C-alpha cells in the first residue's frame, strides 16, 4: 500500500498535561517516517513507544516527568492519555482516511493481532495474555498489567475502537512488544489517506 500525502497539509498535534503526579508533553506527526525522541523515565516504555512510532510511520516526541520513585503507573498511564489526545487532535475530521485496518505481528514465539477502527467511539477488547503476565516486571520496571492500561488510555482518548489479541507467546517482553507492533501497524494503515475515499468514511458523515 502506498502512503498518501494528506491533501491539506501534515497532521500534527502537540498536547500537554500536568498533574501533581506527572508532567507530560507529546507531539505527533501522523504523516511522518517513524522518527522518535522518547523519554518517559521508564526505559521499557520508551522502547515500546519507539516501536509504535517506527511501525506506525508517525514521528513522535514524548517528554514525561513523573513520580516514578513511587510507582511507574502514573507516568505510564498519563503519557498514554496525552498520546491519545494528540492522536485525536492530529486526525482532525478524518476526511479521506482508510479508517479500518488490521495487522498480525510476531516476535519470535509471540504473536499478536490488532484491529483498529478510527471510529470516534472509544472501545477496547483485549484478550489472550497468559496467566501471570500482568504481574511480571518487564525489565524490572514495567508491570505487565500496564500494557492493557496503555491501550485503554490511547483508545479512549484518541476515539479508537481497538481489538487486540495475543495468539501465542511465552516471554513477557516478546508478548508486550508484539502487541505494540501489531497495534502500530494496524493504526498505520487505518490513518493513511486512501485516494479512493471521498470525504469522511462514515454513512453518518462524521467520525
Sheet containing strand 100-107, strands side by side? 100-107, 110-117, 161-168, 123-127
In a domain, 175, yes or no: yes
In a domain, 206, yes or no: no
In a domain, 72, yes or no: yes
Collect all residues with Cβ–Cβ distance below 8 Å to 79 and sequence separation of at least 6: 22, 24, 26, 40, 45, 49, 62, 64
Which portions of the chain are predicted below pLDDT 50?
1-6
Looking up residue 123, the CATH number of its domain turns out to be: 3.30.230.40
In a domain, 3, yes or no: no
In a domain, 179, yes or no: yes
In a domain, 207, yes or no: no
Q: How many domains does the structure of the chain reveal?
A: 1
In a domain, 204, yes or no: no
- How far apart are alpha carbons 72 and 16 in whole angstroms? 19
In a domain, 118, yes or no: yes
pLDDT digits (tens, 9 = 90+) for 9-25: 899 999 999 999 999 99
Q: What is the pLDDT of residue 7?
A: 52
Q: What is the pLDDT of residue 119?
A: 97
The domain of 103 spans 12-191
Q: What is the pLDDT of residue 1?
A: 39
Q: What is the pLDDT of residue 8?
A: 56
Q: What is the pLDDT of residue 9?
A: 82
pLDDT digits (tens, 9 = 90+) for 45-83: 999 999 999 999 999 999 999 999 889 999 999 999 999
User: Are 83 and 16 within 8 A, CB to CB?
Assistant: no
Q: What is the pLDDT of residue 87?
A: 98
Amino acid at each position: 500500500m502506498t502512503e498518501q500525502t494528506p491533501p491539506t497539509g501534515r497532521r500534527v498535534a502537540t498536547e500537554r498535561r500536568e498533574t501533581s503526579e506527572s508532567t507530560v508533553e507529546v507531539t505527533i506527526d501522523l504523516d511522518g517516517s517513524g522518527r522518535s525522541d522518547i523519554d518517559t523515565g521508564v526505559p521499557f516504555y520508551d522502547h515500546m513507544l519507539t516501536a509504535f512510532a517506527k511501525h506506525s510511520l508517525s514521528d513522535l516526541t514524548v517528554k514525561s516527568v513523573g513520580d516514578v520513585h513511587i510507582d511507574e503507573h502514573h507516568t505510564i498511564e498519563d503519557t498514554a492519555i496525552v498520546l491519545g489526545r494528540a492522536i485525536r487532535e492530529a486526525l482532525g475530521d478524518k476526511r479521506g482516511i482508510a479508517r479500518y485496518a488490521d495487522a498480525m505481528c510476531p516476535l519470535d514465539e509471540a504473536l499478536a493481532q490488532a484491529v483498529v477502527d478510527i471510529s470516534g467511539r472509544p472501545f477496547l477488547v483485549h484478550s489472550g495474555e497468559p496467566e501471570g503476565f500482568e504481574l511480571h516486571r518487564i525489565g524490572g520496571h514495567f508491570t505487565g498489567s500496564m500494557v492493557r492500561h496503555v491501550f485503554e488510555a490511547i483508545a479512549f482518548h484518541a476515539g479508537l475502537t481497538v481489538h487486540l489479541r495475543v495468539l501465542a507467546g511465552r516471554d513477557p517482553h516478546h508478548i508486550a512488544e508484539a502487541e505494540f507492533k501489531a497495534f502500530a501497524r494496524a493504526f498505520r494503515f487505518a490513518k493513511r489517506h486512501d485516494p479512493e475515499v471521498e470525504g469522511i468514511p462514515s454513512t453518518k458523515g462524521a467520525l
